[in-house]
Amino acid sequence: MWGISLSCEIADFLSLIKGLSQQLLSSENDWILYRLDDLAQIKSGYSGTQVSYQTPYKVSRIETISKHCIDIQRIGYVECIPESYRLNVGNILFSNINSIQYIGNTAYLDKDYGLYHGMNLLRIIPNTTIVRPRFLHLLLCTDWAINYFQTICNKAVSQASINQTALGKSRFPIPPMSVQQQICSMFELTERKLDNEQEYISCLQQQKRYLLQKMFI
C-alpha cells in the first residue's frame, strides 16, 4: 500500500508544478506581471578565499545545492566573513554559473543552517510584501522558468552563466497573497507526506537487511 500512496503523492506534487507552469503561460488570468528584481533582491556571494579545514564560518558552494536542497555535507569554509552574507530562512540560492543543464538549479532555505553565502551562486531575497518566499521558489522550479533560464544564459565551451541584470529582467505573473498561500499549503502538505513515506520505506529497507542477516547467521 505504501508504494501506491507514495506514487499518488509524487503525482500530486508533479501536478502542482505542472499547474504552475500552465498558469505562467496563460494570458487569461488576473495575476500581475513582475520583474524578478522587483520581487526580490539578487546578490552575489562572498568571493574570499576558502580554506581546506573546518572553521566556524560555513559557506555555500555550487555542490551545496546540486540535489535541489541544502546539502550541509557539501560546503566550504572561510576564515572570516561579514555577517551580511549569512543566509536566512526564506532565502533562495540560484545556480547562475554551471554546466548548461544545471543552470537554474535552486535551493530554498527552509531553516537556519548557520550557513553563509559563498561564491558562484546568487542569493535571492524575496520581497515578502509582494511574494511569499516559498511560492517564488516554486515558480523558479517550474519547467517554464528553467527552460527560460537555460535559453537566456551565455553559453561557453565548458559552462554557461547568467548575470544578475539578465536574471533580474525575468518576468513572472504573481497572484494575490491568498492564492500564493493556498498553493504553498498544498505543496507543503505533499512534501510532508512524501518525507513520511520515504522515512517509512527507509525503515522497511533496514528491517529487510536485518532479517537477511539473521537468516544467514
pLDDT digits (tens, 9 = 90+) for 187-210: 888 777 776 666 666 677 777 676
- Per-residue model confidence (pLDDT) at position 177: 94
- Per-residue model confidence (pLDDT) at position 17: 63
Is the predicted pLDDT of residue 161 greater than 60, yes or no?
yes
Report the C-alpha gap between 59 and 119 in whole angstroms: 8
Between residues 117 and 18, which one has the greater pLDDT? 117
Q: What is the 3-state secondary structure (H, E, C) of 8-46?
A: HHHHHHHHHHHHHHHHHHCCCCCCEEEEHHHHEEEEECE
Is the predicted pLDDT of residue 149 greater than 90, yes or no?
yes
- Per-residue model confidence (pLDDT) at position 122: 98
Kindly state the DSSP code that residue 6 receives in the 8-state scheme: H
Superfamily of domain 34-174: DNA methylase specificity domains (3.90.220.20)
- As a whole-number percent, the residues of the chain with pLDDT over 70 amount to 78
Q: Which three cell numbers stand for residue 211?
A: 532479517
Please state the domain extents for the chain.
1-31+175-217, 34-174
Overall size of the chain counted in residues = 217
pLDDT digits (tens, 9 = 90+) for 9-41: 666 666 666 666 566 545 456 789 999 999 999
Kindly provide the residue ranges of all beta strands, DSSP E only, lying in 25-179, ordered along the sequence.
32-35, 40-44, 57-59, 76-78, 92-94, 97-98, 106-108, 115-116, 122-126, 154-155, 160-161, 171-174
Is the predicted pLDDT of residue 48 greater than 70, yes or no?
yes
Are the C-beta atoms of 109 and 92 separated by less than 8 Å?
yes
Mean pLDDT, residues 140-165: 91
- As a whole-number percent, the residues of the chain with pLDDT over 90 amount to 64
CB atoms within 10 A of CB 131: 22
Is the predicted pLDDT of residue 127 greater than 70, yes or no?
yes
Between residues 133 and 192, which one has the greater pLDDT? 133
- Per-residue model confidence (pLDDT) at position 102: 92
pLDDT band at 184 (very low <50, low <70, confident <90, very high): confident
Is the predicted pLDDT of residue 4 greater than 60, yes or no?
no
**N-to-C CA span, the chain:** 31
- Per-residue model confidence (pLDDT) at position 7: 61
Chain mean pLDDT for the chain: 86
